[in-house]
Amino acid sequence: MNIYVCIKQVPDTETKIKLKPDFTWIDTSGIKWVMSPFDEYAVEEALRVKEKNAGSTVIVVSAGPTRVIECIRTALAMGADSGIHIEIPETADNNMTAKALANAMAKKETASVDLVFTGKEAIDDGSAQVSQLLAGFLGLPYVSVVLNVEYGAQSVKCKREIEGGAYEIVETALPAIIATQKGINEPRYATLPNIMKAKKKEIKTYKTSDLGISEGDQKIKFKNFELPPPKQAGKKVSGDPAAQAKELARLLHEEAKVI
């Protein structure tokens, strides 16, 4: 089985976001980059499938500037077999990214696709589009926000989170794309020997031109970045708990008018 995992490198969640002076993007200097947390579940799930299916291969694909190779190495250290890095500007939109990922997987020289995992969204732009766009480009079905998978020979049954604490049980034919949600598994840590081994694993690099990607594949562009306006200091409600509760209720009702 050839299992692909698409991962994205994003700023660590602790990052204080700063903007470029011309507001065209964030200022990336000094940022600590990590694998998007939801992608860790995707990598883990792929490794678990591999462990249950002898002879399987896990191939990690990531699109982005050269720095994303680090992120691919992290996945290789967790146990993935090889990597594909697609050199793409960090301003590439979801459409261009998904098309590049799809075209890399569809290349003759890369293994055929039996199963694809992605995180349910990347925590930087938070668009939650790539798994579905990938499905569009590869002509495969997809299931998003998946909490559990039962694997069959020709199909999988996924538990998909929807609103109000409800779930859908979705059955889909294979090959398919599955976007993982927190809770599906507990991602492993890379051990030191595996980190060493990962250094020797193969990472192929493609340029967008190798993959038939052109400027026209960018369908949206982010501009006019803004930081949220600093909040005015709020009101402190004082007194003993009874007085505080009474005053807060009054403020919410009469001043904020939200009750």
Partner 1 sequence: MGKILVIAEQRDGKLKKSTFELLGLATQSAPAQSANETYAVLLGDGVSGLTKELEQYGATSIYLIQDASLKFYSAESYTLGVLEAIKQASPDIVLASHSPTGRDFMPKIAASLGVGLASDCTQAQISGVNLKVRRPVYAGKATVEVEFLGQGPRLATIRPNAIGAPKPISAQTAKVIPISIQFTGLNTKVIEIVKGNSARPDVAEAPVVVSGGRSLKSAENFKIIEELADVLGAAVGASRAAVDAGYRAHRDQVGQTGKVVSPVLYIACGISGAIQHLAGMRTSKCIVAINTDPEAPIFQVADYGVIGDLFAVVPLLKEELKKIKEH
Ligand X SMILES: Cc1cc2nc3c(=O)[nH]c(=O)nc-3n(C[C@H](O)[C@H](O)[C@H](O)COP(=O)(O)OP(=O)(O)OC[C@H]3O[C@@H](n4cnc5c(N)ncnc54)[C@H](O)[C@@H]3O)c2cc1C
List of residues contacting ligand X (CB under 6 A): 13, 37
13: closest CA among 38, 43, 40, 36?
Answer: 36
Count the neighbouring beta carbons within 10 Å of the beta carbon of residue 53.
Answer: 14
32 is an interface residue for partner 1 by CB under 8 A: no
Note whether 214 binds partner 1 by CB under 8 A: no
As measured in angstroms, the least distance from the Cβ of 59 to partner 1 is 22
Question: Which C-beta is closer to ligand X: that of 37 or that of 136?
Answer: 37
Q: How far apart are the first and last CA of the chain?
A: 56
Output the smallest distance, CB 38 to partner 1, in A: 8
61 near 83, Cβ under 8 Å? yes
Only segment of 43-51, 67-75, 206-214, 249-257 that touches partner 1 (CB under 8 A): 249-257
* H or E element in which residue 40 lies: helix 37-52
Tell me the one-letter amino acid at 157: K
* 106 sits near partner 1 (criterion: CB under 8 A): no
Residue of 69, 128, 195, 203 that binds partner 1 (CB under 8 A): 128
Determine the interface stretch with partner 1 among 45-53, 56-64, 141-149, 192-200 (rule: CB under 8 A).
141-149
196 makes contact with partner 1 (CB under 8 A): no
Contact 149, 155 (CB under 8 A): no
Give me the amino acid identity at 87. E
Q: Which residue is nearest to ligand X (CB)?
A: 13
